């Protein structure tokens, strides 16, 4: 039995400790906003925040989470930067199929939390691990800049 803090709530899961957090969120806790894309930390679809840092939940065993707090896409709107990014995403029509976007938003928010005015180089460094097969990169870049400049 693991108890983890997700979006400010304590949640329990009766799973094998090796189970990656991704599958605990999706299959056990019903938080399906965090997506499965590759399972090997190459696509970023499963990005969540662990104590504020972006982490690929598909490679994070639930047993390694410990007391750290998890934020998922379902909870990110509660933070001011999260809300700004979501708004910028809608204003600029960043999203196409949307499947990668939970992860994109989580990565973007983490970037902005640490760097309130990222340049292109910083955006590349933070976002190149997130694949978007629909090809929304151009607008993701704009969206981050929009959110940085007050939305």
**Which residues in 91-130 contact ligand FES (CB under 6 A)?**
95-101
Sheet arrangement for strand 69-71: 9-13, 2-6, 69-71, 47-50, 53-56
Q: Which two tokens stand for residue 2?
A: 């693991």
Helix locations, 5-136, DSSP H:
21-23, 73-76, 80-91, 101-114, 120-127
Closest to ligand FES by CB, 53 or 116: 53
- Give the pairing type, strands 2-6 and 69-71: parallel
Site for another protein in 18-77 (CB under 8 A): 18-20, 22-24, 26-28, 30-45, 53-56, 59-61, 64, 72-74, 76-77
Quick one: what does residue 46 bind among ligand FES, another protein, none, with the CB cut-off 5 to 8 Å set by partner type?
ligand FES
Within 85-114, which residues bind another protein (CB under 8 A)? Answer: 86, 89-90, 93, 95-102, 105
Q: Residue 82 Cβ, how far from another protein at the closest point, in Å?
A: 9
């Amino acid at each position: 039995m693991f108890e983890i803090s997700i979006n400010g709530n304590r949640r329990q899961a009766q799973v094998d400790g090796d189970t990656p957090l991704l599958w605990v969120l999706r299959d056990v806790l019903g938080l399906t906003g965090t997506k499965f894309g590759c399972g090997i930390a190459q696509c970023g679809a499963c990005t969540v925040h662990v104590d504020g840092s972006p982490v690929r939940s598909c490679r994070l065993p639930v047993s390694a989470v410990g007391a750290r707090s998890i934020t998922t896409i379902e909870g990110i709107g509660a933070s001011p930067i999260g809300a700004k990014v979501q708004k910028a995403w809608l204003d600029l029509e960043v999203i196409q199929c949307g499947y990668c976007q939970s992860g994109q938003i989580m990565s973007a928010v983490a970037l902005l939390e640490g760097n309130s005015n990222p340049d292109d180089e910083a955006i590349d460094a933070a976002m190149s691990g997130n694949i978007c097969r629909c090809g929304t990169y151009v607008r993701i870049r704009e969206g981050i800049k929009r959110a940085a400049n007050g939305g």
